[in-house]
Structure 1
Amino acid sequence: MSEIGDYYSYPIATKVTNKIRNTIEFPAVTICNRCTLNKTRLASYPDLESYFRDSSLQQKSSGVYNFDDIDDGIMLQPLSLDWWTNMSMDASSLFHLCYFGGESIDCSSNFLPVFTNEGLCHTFNFNASDIVNVKNSGNGANLIINYNIAQQYYTFRENMAAGIKYVYLPDPYMAFDEMDCVDTNSPDFVNPLKYYSPYTYDHCFMECIQTKVFNLCGCVGPSDPRSRGPDVPICSLEKQDTCYSISIREYHTPSYCNTRSNQCCDSRWEQILSK
């Protein structure tokens, strides 16, 4: 009964206002094939098929792949974004037909290839300066895509699911108890991030983690924005298994990158990175 008394001791007044809008912004949607690698591309490297099979089983048992008996140099050398792109599923074969707002659209020009933790994915409504708007609701006004997941080209991965995965972010409203999110549209707002733009909480969190892992391992993953810059090595498969992936999992907790405090990322950002 004391909990009920506490509940009613803090009265809350809720005000609801209707606002009519002719259009609303459509979210950016990132689409990933559940297996982003193409086994026919891996065939040119004799050890890769067995590597992805064995390492996927090792990850499920929290083990580390043994590279001692590997003769193929591809396992130990730093990799490039071009290499990962060439080993991945083609976007041209993934998207068969695309519709938006009831009209047919060109799939290739309306999706931007982007590397994420899932691998090579593709983002719709990627241009922040030209955001797509919708006028009507319903199935006919939505984004409709006919896929070819090409499961016959799947290879072994940690996640052995088949199909498509969608990722999108909602608008930032009130968050973190009684604090407002940072107003990134304010003319006074300065993006504190070095490698991610625009500023979002997830970008803040990822940059913090990736900075820590880079300082530890000396290399980056293909989804790290620093992989697009000069003189920044992308991890070899051996380095990815023995250092990068392990460290990403270890640091992926608020205790290492407490970016939720003090309005997501504020003046404490440099202190957080330096820990």
Structure 2
Amino acid sequence: MKVADVGRLAETGKDQEESVTSSSDTLLGDLWADLKSNTSLHGLSRISTKKTVFHGVFWGAMTLFMVLLLIGAFVAYGLDYFSYETLINIKLTRQAEMTFPSVTICNVSPINISRVNQSEILNMYYLKTHIYGRFFHSFINISDPFYAVLHENRTDSWLNETKFSKEMLFYHKEFEGQPCSNCFEDRRTDIGMCTTFNGLSNNPPLVSKLIGSQNGLSIFVFLDQNNYIYGENLGAGLLVAIHERDEEPNMADNSFLVSAGTVTYVPFRRIDSTFLPYPYKAFGDDYCTETSAPDFQNPLKHYKQYSSYACIRECRARFIYKRCQCRHINDFGNETICTIAQEHTCVRKAKEKFDSSLSIKNNCKCPLSCHQVAYDLDFSSAKIPSTKYEEYFSTQNLQDLSTNHIELRFFYHTFFVENVQQVPKIDLTSVLGNVGGYMGIFLGASLLTLMELLEVFMVAMFLISKRLIRKVKGNVISSEKNSRFPDPKT
């Protein structure tokens, strides 16, 4: 091939490349012109110098300013959205009938001293080591042979052997006017062996069909104060907690007292609370766990149903065992049970350390459930017996009604349920409404305008990429030609 032909071929390649570039520029220009003429975006069609340069610059600056304001609004809205703030909705719903809650009842004295070996020595120990007894008695030396009973090993059966039996404690019990002797079960709580009405073993659960004091749980209780121990509580009566059937009651800190010698009515209503799981915060800075989710696995060893307090109890039991190398008599497990002497020297301090340390409890990783049920309680009571009944009972040789007996009634006073629901402050509907509102205010645009801009962007990217591909190919061809046909000038 002649040198002149090579030159012409190179010039032809350059002309084709310039033609492609010019064509792409023309298409992009047409695309921009079409967008300005037909878009629903306000202000864009006025960016033109056909009238005056000032007119085009002014509308260009105004449109750019509005775009910046829109971007700023979107950024602020996005930050608000990702802060995951919430609102609380409350509504009332009425039920035709309602499942009756569990009622856990403990005698203030956790131990029936008459059923304990060497009861006089043990009672003396409780007197000297509990509450006011510590003010009036000197330090107790548990290594003294006099207190040998404190060092005796115990088994889990010790709680059953030393409890106030439910048969003796509740001498009359009925639900909605019908006898209910099989509705009670023993329950090992954090303060000792107690009794639960309508627990998990009561299947199906009892249902309340009517409201009022005649249509709930009625029980008559015999306290048997003569067999009390010297306990932390100086009073006589019952500790009571109303809770869900699958919830572990916190008898030490979340129960109420019913005094001896009273008739006490406890009307209540149900409150259902539903909170949002992560990433929303349900309780201050804490997150809740969806324990009802299909993929939730109960991490507890000794409780079939997860609850936050059951988790805390297991964590506290592990903490005590690590410190004292034994298990508290009220806890579940297979470890060696602490003697009373070990409870005195180690367990009590370990328990106080655990209960008073928020950081230790936080390390337990015991989140609250996202679904919480609470019962709003009211109380009313009157002393027993009345003068009229006192005269009658004196003829029946019942002289201790005011010291050893309690009448208790638990019942729904309304079937209206308060439903508390945590909802996102910004949901999908709010997002669509606010995005559309911001676009309309700043640029007069709508969601369809976004589709227009997206279409223009995609077409422009296609044209630009097509142009770049052809340019790369042109450079490759030109390079190959130069290598095959050197520049004749060189």
Question: One fold, TM greater than 0.5?
Answer: yes
Deviations 1:114-138, CA, capped at 9 Å, x for gaps: 2223222111111165322212221
Distance 1:60 1:26 in 2: 42
State the AA in 2 paired with 1:123. Answer: T
Matches of residues 115-194 of structure 1 in structure 2 within 5 Å?
115-127=188-200, 130-169=204-243, 173-174=274-275, 175-177=282-284, 181-194=288-301
Give 1:158 shift. 1.9
The 5-angstrom pairing of residues 13-32 of structure 1 reads 15-32=89-106
Q: Give the distance between the partners of 1:153 and 1:45, measured in 2 at CA.
A: 10
Confirm or deny: 8 A CA contact 2:308 2:366 kept in the other structure.
no
Shift of 1:67: 0.3
Provide the residue aligned with 1:255 in structure 2: 359
152 and 263 in structure 1: CA distance in 2 versus 1, 3 angstrom threshold: closer
2:316 aligned to which of 204, 209, 222: 209
SS at the partner of 2:93?
coil
Relative to structure 1, the CA distance from residue 263 to residue 36 in structure 2 (aligned partners, 3 Å threshold; closer, same or farther) is: closer
Q: Following superposition, which runs of at least 4 residues in structure 1 exceed 6 angstroms of deviation? A: 11-14, 259-262
CA 196–89 in structure 1, closer or farther in 2 if over 3 Å, else same: same
Out of 139, 152, 156, the position equivalent to 1:81 is 156
Classify 1:197/1:223 alpha carbon distance in 2 versus 1 (closer, same or farther; 3 Å): farther
- Whether the 8 Å CA contact 1:94–1:147 is kept in 2: the answer is yes
Q: Which residue among 146, 151, 174 is the counterpart of 1:99?
A: 174
40, 46, 51: which is aligned to 2:114?
40
1:151-205 Cα distance to aligned partner (Å, 9 max, x none) = 1221211222101110233666444137663222222111012222310010111
User: How far did 1:264 drift?
Assistant: 3.6
Taking every aligned residue pair, what percent have the same amino acid on both sides? 25
Aligned to 1:7: none
TM-superposed CA distance for 1:14, in Å, is 6.3
Gapped runs of 5+ residues in structure 1? 1-10, 266-275
Task: Measure the CA separation in 1 of the matches of 2:144 and 2:285.
Answer: 56
Question: Which amino acid counterpart does residue 112 of structure 1 have in structure 2?
Answer: E
TM superposition score normalised by structure 2: 0.46
Letter in 1 for 2:187: V
RMSD: 2.9
* Contact 1:196/1:207 (8 A) holds in 2: no
Query: What do residues 237-268 of structure 1 show as CA deviations (whole Å, max 9, x unaligned)?
Result: 00011111221111013221116979449xxx
Q: Report the equivalent of 2:75.
A: none
Q: 1:77 to 1:261 in 2, by over 3 A?
A: closer
Q: State the AA in 2 paired with 1:215.
A: K
CA deviation after TM superposition for structure 1 residue 214, in Å: 1.0
In the alignment, the residues of structure 1 paired with residue 188 and residue 134 of structure 2 have an alpha-carbon distance, to the nearest angstrom, of 23
Matches of 2:192 and 2:163, distance apart in 1 = 8
- What is residue 196 of structure 1 aligned with on the other side? 303
Q: Is the 8 A contact 1:56 1:156 kept in 2?
A: yes
Question: Which deviates further from its counterpart, 165-174 or 153-162?
Answer: 165-174
Instruction: Check conservation: 2:113, 2:119, Cα contact below 8 A.
Output: no
Contact 1:96 1:147 in 2 (8 A): yes
More strand by share: 2
TM-score by structure 1 length?
0.78
Contact map agreement 1:32 1:166 (CA 8 A) in 2? yes
Aligned 8 A contact 1:59 1:158 in 2:
no
> Which one has a bigger Cα radius of gyration?
2
CA 1:218–1:90: 2 relative to 1, 3 Å: same
